[in-house]
Amino acid sequence: MPCWFPMQVHIFAPMCGRFDNLIARDAYRGLFKAHRLPKSNFPLRYNVAPTDQIPIVRIDPRDGEREVVMAR
């Protein structure tokens, strides 16, 4: 059967996965209702690589409280 439309081939290259983190340290408590923050200060970042440590919000399995921890 003839093809009336040209076949399109899409090749997707992996992206580098960089992003930014512009949330101030003290804002995590109000935005995410996180009760615990790391003792270290994490500055605003405009070019975070996939291998950089960033703050994440998680539920502490020991007591069920929200906390901010540094992770990759």
Phi, psi of 68, deg, nearest 5: -105, 125
Cα 18 from Cα 66, distance rounded (Å): 26
Could you report the per-residue pLDDT of 53-63, keeping only the tens digit for each? 889 999 999 99
What are the pLDDT digits (tens) for 33-45?
998 998 878 888 8
The model's pTM is 0.67
Residue boundaries of the structural domains of the chain: 19-71
Give 2's contacts (C-beta < 8 A, 6+ positions apart). Answer: none
Q: What proportion of the chain, given as a percentage, has pLDDT over 90?
A: 32
Contact indicator for 67, 57 with CB cutoff of 8 Å: yes
